[in-house]
Amino acid sequence: MSGAYDTPEATSQAYKDYAELYAGTYEPYGRKVQMVPIDGTGTLSDAVAARADADRAAAKNVFAVMGGPAQAKEFADELAQKKILCIATCIIAQPQKYVLDNAPYLWPPGPTPDQTATMVTEFIKKQLLGKPAEWAGPDQSGRTVRSRC
């Protein structure tokens, strides 16, 4: 076990803490975030359960969902079709086109894989290319980083 598991209670408390933090940082114009817990019914990649869970969230008339079966794209699909925000870990690792096609309803927790690839490429081009390979190991020490493209 990697130790990366948080209990449902700890996760729920973290969401409440974030809601309080954001309410103190941004202007909610008199509105208050009300957390509505919804327990998932399937595994991380169960498409049928993911759609059913999104339907259950919609039936509770929620504005946004945080969390969910992140590997089941159908969860985010269903939420976006119902015009419900999918924030952070309810979707991960989807192409930029998918996020843009479902804008403004998908808010991934970080850059898309496309964006990450672009950033890594830019980093290599601007920060490494043409510079000495200082930390590449003894057999590469002193050599210049060159492109093989």
Q: Which long-range contacts (CB under 8 A, 24 or more apart) does 29-32 make?
A: none
pLDDT range class, residue 149, cuts 50, 70, 90: low
User: 55 or 9: which carries more pLDDT confidence?
Assistant: 55
- My answer on whether 14 and 53 are in the same domain is yes
Please choose, from the candidates 109, 100, 49, the residue with its C-alpha nearest in 3D space to the C-alpha of residue 75: 49
Q: What is the mean pLDDT of residues 134-142?
A: 79
pTM score, two decimals?
0.77
Phi, psi (rounded to 5 degrees) for 63: -90, -35
Domain membership of residue 102 (yes or no) is yes
Domain membership of residue 3 (yes or no) is no
Instruction: Decide if pLDDT at 3 tops 80.
Output: no
- My answer on whether 23 and 93 are in the same domain is yes
- My answer on whether 99 and 28 are in the same domain is yes
